[in-house]
């Protein structure tokens, strides 16, 4: 396992008012609605999630950097666990000629409203039971998804990610290093179930048999 960052620039491009998140609205109600992962989460008011998750090209450089790092080539099979509307997969399809992309997400709304060019490759599913054979994919990625699982399901998802990938896997989860970052994470998040330090995450990776690479989102 290696810590590699591919998405810090994307993360820091969004400005966040942590205190406003908890004082302007009923945070518990917002979280309840957000965890349905429906229209409100993806394209509703900002209090419930993205406030409109539309394609803007921000994932192109991420796909390019990941593809270069893992030496993806024509015909490479790529799985995105928690693909949302498929924007990252669309970029993989653009930067890796002939890539075979597959996306899975628990949200029917996200799949139904996925990027039109690759929507046929997106499907509803759960990270804990992936409908694929062992060693199917040349790269398995999961960006900002696995921290939404309870720890007993997290272990299953990590084991599934390991099972369906040949060698290259990469995930990103929320984490914190200081009490300030912990509070910011608690203020900002609306769907997280796992709140771990990097050391705890890495212990969980090892316990689950996950051998891929990883990175963290910190709320500074």
Write down all domains in the chain, each with its CATH number in brackets: 8-217 (3.40.50.150)
On the question of pLDDT at 154 being above 80, the answer is yes
> Picking from 24-28, 144-148, 151-155, 198-202, which range would have the lowest pLDDT averaged per residue?
24-28
Q: How confident is the model at residue 51 (pLDDT cuts 50, 70, 90)?
A: very high
* CA distance linking residue 174 with residue 195, whole number of Å: 8
Determine the average pLDDT of the residues in 134-139. 98
The phi, psi pair for 40, rounded to 5°, reads -60, -40
202, pLDDT greater than 90: yes
At 16, is the pLDDT very low, low, confident or very high (cuts 50, 70, 90)? confident
Q: Is the pLDDT of residue 200 over 90?
A: yes
Answer for the pair 70, 4: CB distance below 8 angstroms, yes or no: no
Contact 85, 138 (CB under 8 A): no
If pLDDT is split at 50, 70 and 90, which confidence band does 8 have? confident
């Amino acid at each position: 396992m290696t810590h590699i960052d591919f998405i810090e620039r994307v993360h820091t491009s969004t400005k966040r008012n942590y205190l406003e998140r908890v004082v302007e609205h009923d945070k518990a109600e917002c979280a309840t609605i957000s965890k349905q992962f429906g229209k409100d989460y993806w394209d509703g008011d900002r209090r419930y999630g993205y406030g409109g998750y539309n394609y803007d090209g921000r994932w192109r450089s991420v796909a390019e950097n990941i593809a270069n790092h893992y030496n993806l080539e024509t015909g490479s099979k790529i799985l995105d666990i928690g693909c949302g509307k498929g924007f990252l997969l669309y970029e993989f399809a653009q930067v890796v000629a002939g890539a075979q992309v597959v996306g899975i997400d628990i949200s029917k709304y996200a799949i139904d409203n996925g990027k039109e060019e690759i929507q046929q490759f997106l499907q509803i599913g759960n990270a804990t039971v992936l409908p694929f054979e062992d060693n199917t994919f040349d790269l398995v990625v999961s960006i900002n998804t696995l921290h939404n699982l309870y720890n007993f399901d997290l272990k299953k998802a990590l084991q599934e990610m390991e099972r369906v990938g040949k060698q290259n896997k990469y995930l990103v989860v929320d984490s914190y290093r200081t009490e300030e970052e912990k509070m910011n994470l608690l203020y900002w998040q609306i769907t997280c179930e796992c709140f771990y330090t990097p050391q705890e995450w890495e212990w969980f990776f090892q316990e689950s048999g996950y051998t891929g690479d990883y990175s963290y989102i910190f709320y500074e």
